[in-house]
Amino acid sequence: MAMSPALSRTSAPPRWQDYVQLLKPRVMSLVIFTAITGMVCADSSMNPILGGIAIFCIAVGAGASAAFNMWYDADIDAKMRRTRARPVPSGKVQGSDALAMGGVLSLFSVMLLGMTANWLAAGLLAFTIFFYAVVYTMWLKRSTPQNIVIGGLAGALPPVIGWAAATGTAPLNAWLLCAIIFMWTPPHFWALSLYTSEDYEKAGVPMMPVTAGAASTRKQILIYSLLFVPLCIVPVFTGLGGLTYLAVSALGGLVFLVLAWRIFRSRAGEAAGQRNDDGLYDVKASSKDARNMFAFSILYLTLLFATLLAEHALGLPGVGVL
């Protein structure tokens, strides 16, 4: 890891809230949501207290991997507008503190999950932390434009961990939830990187628009979307999703494809200065299609998982023809 000269200690002492920020609370909330969905879809009779503690462990494990990421990526975070206010690059927290916190919380979350649920779930959590911190952060992110494609596995595993925590097994339907998030990640992140590519270029991160250009990225967003949307409908055939899920996945998928087509036809990512200064969603007119895709992709994934969660919580039957 090369420390940037931009990193310096501020005069303000570190507060406990700065340490909470190391855990990326917003990402943690998404992990909690998808892990709960996996756990509920497993339709097991797990003790709800143990289930709650298992979800807590999964969330802490995700936070631990985020702390490792904040420690290792402090040099490139300092160069990007979106990340330069993070605790380590802004100098609020020392990198060594972030590293120690990641290590302690990793051990804590994996061991407690093993005690609370089972060692399959704990092993999957340990693998997820390792994959995000080492394979994605330390290796893929700086070396290949396929970084978020392969690295997306770390973000896709929480529903499998939730399922495994509830049942001690990881069947096909659990991996189907994982595959949906895995295939969702490239169009989601590339849509974002189309209008933040200047930041990535400045930091030397080989995101797809930086290395292959905006036109190639737009084409790949369309290709991945064409693979992703049919995959979202597969749970209906395996008995995981019911009729409500069929409607949500099909209608939402249609909108997803329309947005992907619009990006493909647009010139998103080509002009300089894609973003204005007022937050992540404030973009120039040429990048509005990419911004819309980024925003809708979050909504679509949330709707898919919320529908599955509701169907299983209410005991609605799946369709299941396979």
Partner 1 sequence: MSEPKPDPTLEARARRGRNIALALGLVLFVVLVFVVTVVRMGGNVGLRPL
Q: Which residues bind partner 1 (CB under 8 A)?
A: 9-16, 19, 47, 49-50, 53, 56, 108, 112, 115-116
CA dist 249 and 261 (Å) reads: 18
State the nearest-atom distance from the C-beta of 128 to partner 1, in Å: 20
Q: List helix spans (H) across the chain.
A: 16-21, 25-41, 48-72, 74-77, 95-116, 119-130, 141-143, 147-156, 158-167, 172-194, 197-203, 208-211, 214-238, 243-265, 288-313
State the nearest-atom distance from the C-beta of 164 to partner 1, in Å: 17
Closer CB to partner 1, 12 or 227, in the complex: 12
Closer CB to partner 1, 29 or 47, in the complex: 47
CA dist 72 and 83 (Å) reads: 13
Closer CB to partner 1, 11 or 317, in the complex: 11
Closer CB to partner 1, 60 or 78, in the complex: 60
Residues 6+ apart with CB under 8 A from 37: 159, 162, 177, 305, 306, 308, 309
Residue 131 sits at φ, ψ, to 5 deg, of -65, -45
Closer CB to partner 1, 31 or 112, in the complex: 112
State the nearest-atom distance from the C-beta of 71 to partner 1, in Å: 18
State the nearest-atom distance from the C-beta of 27 to partner 1, in Å: 20
Give how far the C-alpha of residue 150 lies from the chain's centroid of Cα atoms, to the nearest Å: 12
State the nearest-atom distance from the C-beta of 11 to partner 1, in Å: 4
Sign of CA dihedral 58, 60, 64, 69: positive
CA dist 255 and 278 (Å) reads: 27
State the nearest-atom distance from the C-beta of 57 to partner 1, in Å: 9
State the nearest-atom distance from the C-beta of 291 to partner 1, in Å: 37
Closer CB to partner 1, 9 or 81, in the complex: 9
Closer CB to partner 1, 13 or 317, in the complex: 13
Q: Is 90 helix (H, G, I), strand (E, B) or coil?
A: coil
